[in-house]
Amino acid sequence: MKHLLLAAAALIATPLSAETVAITGGTVAIGDGSQPIQGGTVVIANGRVVAAGAGVAVPAGARVVDATGKWVSPGIVAPISTLGIVDGYGMNETNDAQTKGSPFSAAIDVSTSINTSGQGIATERSSGTTRAFVIPAAGNTMFGGQGAVIDLGADVDPVTKPRAFQYVELGEDAGDHGGGTRPAAHVLLRAALVAAQNPAQVDWLSKDSLITKQDAQALGPVIRGTMPLLVHVERVADIRAALALKADYPAIKLVLVGATEGWRIADQIAAAKVPVIAAAITDLPERFETLAATQSNVGRLTKAGVLVAISNVDASEGPYESYLTQFAGNLVAITKIPGATGLDWGQAFATITSKPAEAIGMGGEIGSLRPGRHADVVIWDGDPLEIASAPVAIWIDGVAQPMTSRQTRLRDRYLDPTEKALPKAYEY
Amino acid sequence: MSNKLKLAIAVALTLAACGQAAKPKSAASDAPPPGKGKGFNHDPFPSTYHAYPGVPTALVGATVYDGEGGRIENGTVLFADGKVTAIGGPDLAIPAGSTVIDAKGKWVTPGVIDIHSHLGDYPSPGVQALSDGNEATGPVTADVWAEHSVWPQDPGFSRALANGGVTTLQILPGSANLMGGRSVVLKNVYARTAQGMKFPGAPYGLKMACGENPKRVYGSKGRQPSTRMGNIAVDRQTWAKAAEYKRKWDKYEEKGGEQPSRDIAMDTLMGVLSGEILIQNHCYRADEMANVIDMAKEFGYHVSAFHHAVEAYKIGDLLKANGVCASVWADWYGFKMESYDGIPENLAILQKTGTCATIHSDDQNGIQRLNQEAGKALASGRRAGIDISDELAWTWLAINPAKALGIADKTGSLKAGKMADVVLWNGNPFSVYTRPEKVWIDGAMLYDAYNPKLRPVSDFELGQPGEGDVK
């Protein structure tokens, strides 16, 4: 118990600050699709990556961390997340992910309410996740609203980029949220994009207005191509309909989310240069829009030249951000199955680091250990994609992070479940 | 009436006649007692599963986890006629005529058993028309049987087989109800009917649920239960009725007389009180599990396993003392209030406490990776300083769920005489990079990664995009 108390005291007493650190001797995974480098060095300073790889010199005055026998990588980037806006989706009172009963949709901006006290942030951070795309779910219409890129640091300032993208449902879920059917959702989307071209003309006082002025304004950056549009679609027909948006709005930075049947038209997605945040390894026809689901989707899309990240969207109840490494590992595992298409290790690791960042145009900022990126660095006790591996040290923006969470406190309290001289409530 | 019964009646009449002159009796009072547990047919939907043909097989050179905590390096596993015949080291004699498979560098384990699945009753595709897992029309529906909902064409069965090495699984009704109905244990072998998948001789389970689901479902309908205390109240009232029902049937079966009227729900509860049906109890919180254990004592039944026992780690000692298993996820937490205290060390702490523990999926995706889930639980435990060997951790996927299902005498480990439910893994099964290479059920090879024809395609998938894909 003593070590815990000390750890807690250290957390409170020590100001978290960005320092110059050289992590030496570890197996370094850059996160850009390249293969891991044995005995590499990673240098961070002023909250950014200075250098990473073989033969990198240790700067004078740097704190040297010996990572011999360990792995060093960028933090995991979770591209579909509700961290900070939901404490647990079975607890409706805590749910800020889905808006119902508001006049607004596309204008909703989750960056205004990211809660860093939710236990998920610390727990998922301890699994090596350092950034997440927080996405509002479709509620009033098929527009979820404007998502934010956040960091999972132990501080009260989580937002890396507010209003980082707009989120839209155009598949089966659009039926629920877009006016009844997929075709109806498309009409509403088109109407909204027309309104976005001239929000001043929107009669926002009319209760019959299909879109508010605020929503139309929020879509301006989307049609100008300064804010990516994430579109959740699964089946071929829906993917094609989404790609067709680019014909009318060439500037749109479209990103497909889900795209379970994407492999069937991988060449068309590649030709459109549209990135995909895919549903990782789901392989069941859980919906009629995912009849062609296969774990080979990501591999086949990648092989066709599509930029692919993976997420836990469409995965089941449990899978959290922490599952991303496991999912990526499974994409490597299937390379040994005849007929399946997987990824090599470097490609697989990129699907949860640099690829999500690149998908929304932030590859220059986060998701890899290339120089100049935010210094989100994890030291792992083994291959980060392997089941048994876990982080032993984490930096976010160059700031060393605590490795404890509410879960570790519960664990330490109940390693021996029997009560002693006083109730468990006195063990902390 | 069977000849045997006719004869018994004749003997009874003869004996009666010896003492005094037989008085005329009504037909009812003349009927002799049928005997304990024989008042009605307890197996009206019998298993029609049969083992498929296999060949005598020798897996040679593998690392073998026997499923009961044993490990053999460079091991040999022999099976024939659907049964494991022997396991041993490299010196174990291979019977002539065996198909010998070189398993060097690979692992051999008993088939994975998932004690908590809704494949078939919540199948893919998850459309309303196939949503058959919760009879959410009353808090006690002990009369429903999951097997009558199971759609044997669920594509999920093949994924669980090919990706997860799952050979046996319990299909439960859902958790909307306090007493949701009977479970069914299946062999993971496609059939045209659910009966064709039924694990021969497996006891039934009664799915019960604690906590938030029943209180939410019925509370929102404005009826009891709407609280946790309401949950226990309705449970106790129902057990009291079941005890009365059992008394009537016991009396009839032992002493004869007029046959009590049947109540299909009470049949199931009586089966629990008789020890014939096992309680499989959805229950997250430590305090609620304790309440249920006391309720079980009050009415004289036993809880076989708590499922989703997210807080089991807090009361491993209590579970152990009462001989109750805990079935858990590796690391699910926080998705609702009663899962708020989930920690990834749950399984390992239970193991350390000496409690019977199993992994489970409750999930059509998770069931495909239960080996990985157990691997995560193992790694979390080791990081917390709990020393558990790989082979001991495999008991979470094998003998422990078999015990909690009452089928440990038939499957759940690689022991001579048991069903040859066997997985050959292409590497260490606790590694993310490993997949099943071959899977045998009752000695029949039903999956082979290298043979596309040994990869089942359910009726639903025929003619659909992706049919026959390796998935």
Range of the domain at A319: 76-366
Q: Which two tokens stand for residue A80?
A: 């579909």
Statement: residue A306 has pLDDT above 50 = yes
Whether residues A264 and A196 share a domain: the answer is yes
Distance CA A384, CA A389 (A): 6
Residues of B in contact with A237 (CB under 8 A): none
CA distance A21 to chain B (A): 26
CA-CA distance, A289 to A258, in Å (whole number)? 11
**pLDDT tens, residue by residue, B362-403:** 999 999 999 999 999 999 999 999 999 999 999 999 999 999
Please say which residue of A366, A384, A406 terminates a domain: A366
Chain center to CA of B139:
22
Contact A413, A406 (CB under 8 A): no
At residue A315, the pLDDT reads: 63
Relative to beta strand B303-307, strand B278-282 is parallel
Mutation target for B interface from A283, A313, A392: give the one with most B CBs within 10 A: A283
pLDDT, tens digit, for every residue of B191-249? 999 999 999 999 999 999 999 999 999 999 999 999 999 999 999 999 999 999 999 99
Q: Residues A227, A317: one domain?
A: yes
- The answer to whether B343 contacts A410, with C-beta atoms less than 8 Å apart, is yes
pLDDT confidence of B352, banded at 50, 70, 90? very high
Contact A107, A215 (CB under 8 A): yes
Domain count for chain A, please give it.
2
Instruction: Chain B: give the shortest CA distance to residue A70, in Å.
Output: 15
Interface of A with B in 253-282 (CB under 8 A): 261, 264, 282
Q: Does B448 touch chain A (CB under 8 A)?
A: no
Chain A contact for B459 (CB, 8 A cutoff): no
The minimal CB distance from A414 to the residues B314, B340, B426 is found for B314
ipTM of the complex: 0.94
User: Smallest Cβ distance to B335: which of A283, A285, A317?
Assistant: A317
CA distance to partner chain A, nearest, from residue B27 (Å): 57
In the predicted model, what is the mean pLDDT of residues A61-65?
97
**In the 8-state DSSP scheme, what is residue A375?**
-
Position B106 in a domain: no
Tell me which chain B residues have a C-beta less than 8 angstroms from the C-beta of A338. 449-450, 452, 470
Contact across the interface for A286 and B364, Cβ inside 8 Å: yes
Interchain contact, B432 vs A330, CB within 8 Å: yes
| Residue at which a domain ends, from A318, A351, A366 | A366
CB B400 within 8 Å of CB B411: no
Do A292 and B363 lie within an 8 Å CB cutoff? no
Minimal C-alpha gap between A403 and chain B (Å): 13
On whether both A226 and A264 belong to a single domain, the answer is yes
A335 → chain B, closest CA residue: B433
- Residue identified by tokens 């929000």 is A199
Are A403 and A381 in the same domain?
yes
Looking at the fold, whether A362 and A292 belong to one and the same domain comes out as yes
B-contacting residues of A 60-119, CB under 8 Å? 87-91, 119
Least confident of A193-207, A243-257, B367-381, B416-430: A193-207
pLDDT tens readout for residues B407-462: 999 999 999 999 999 999 999 999 999 999 999 999 999 999 999 999 999 999 99
Q: Are residues A145 and A269 in the same domain?
A: yes
For residue A8, being part of any structural domain is answered with no
Residue A377 and residue A285 share a domain: no
The mean per-residue pLDDT over the stretch A76-105 comes to 90
Name residues whose C-beta falls within 8 Å of residue A155's C-beta, 6 or more positions apart in sequence: A16, A116, A399
The pLDDT of B340-360, averaged and rounded, is 98
In a domain, B417, yes or no: no
State how many domains chain B has: 1
Minimum Cα–Cα distance from B469: chain A residue: A294
Q: How many CB pairs under 8 A join A and B?
A: 168
Give the mutation candidate from A284, A289, A341 for the B interface (greatest B CB count, under 10 A).
A284
Do A341 and A248 belong to one domain? yes
pLDDT at residue A318, rounded to an integer: 75
Answer yes or no: is A2 within a domain.
no
Residue B229's Cβ-count burial label (10 Å; 0-12, 13-18, 19+) is exposed
Q: Which helix (H) or strand (E) holds B405?
A: helix B399-405
| Mean pLDDT on A34-43 | 98
Q: Which residues of A249-264 are buried (b: 16+ CB within 10 A; e: fewer)?
A: beebbbbbbbbbbbbb
Looking at the structure, tell me whether residues A178 and A131 fall in a common domain: yes
**Domain of A51: which CATH number?**
2.30.40.10
Contact B352 A319 (CB under 8 A): no
B208 vs B177: CA distance, rounded Å: 7
Same domain, A202 and A281: yes
Answer whether residue A219 shows pLDDT above 90: yes
Is B78 a member of any domain? Answer: no
Which residues are CB-contacts of B215 (< 8 A; sequence separation ≥ 6)?
A: B225, B226, B227, B228, B230, B231
Select from A152, A6, A130, A4 the least CA-distant residue to A76: A130
Q: How confident is the model at residue A422 (pLDDT cuts 50, 70, 90)?
A: very high
Percent of chain A with pLDDT over 70: 94
**Is A351 part of any domain?**
yes
Following DSSP, what letter does each residue of B319-388 receive, concatenated? HHHTT-EEEE-SS--SSSGGGTT--TTHHHHHHHHT--EEE---STTGGGGHHHHHHHHHHHHHHTT---
Within a domain: B122? yes
Task: State yes or no: pLDDT of B27 exceeds 60.
Answer: no
Q: The domain that contains A346 carries what CATH number?
A: 3.20.20.140
Selection from B423, B469, B445 nearest residue B53 by Cα: B445
Instruction: Tell me the per-residue pLDDT of A155-191, one tens digit each, with 9 for 90 and over.
Output: 999 999 999 999 999 999 888 777 789 999 999 999 9
In angstroms, the CA B132 to CA B124 distance is 11
Domain with B268 in it: 111-411
DSSP character for A197? H
Is residue B454 a contact partner of residue B445, using CB atoms and an 8 Å limit? Answer: yes
Note whether residue A59 is domain-resident.
Answer: yes
Note whether A292 and A208 are same-domain residues.
yes
Q: At what angle do helices A182-197 and A236-248 cross, to 10 degrees?
A: 20
Mean per-residue pLDDT over chain B, rounded = 94
Q: Which of B317, B329, B376 sits opposite A417 (nearest CB)?
A: B317
- Examine residue A147 and state whether it is found in any structural domain, yes or no: yes
In a domain, B212, yes or no: yes
Of A366, A389, A412, the position where a domain reaches its end is: A366
CATH number for the domain including B172?
3.20.20.140
pLDDT at B8 over 60: no
Asked if residue A10 is part of any domain, the answer here is no
Say yes or no: A373 and A354 in one domain. no
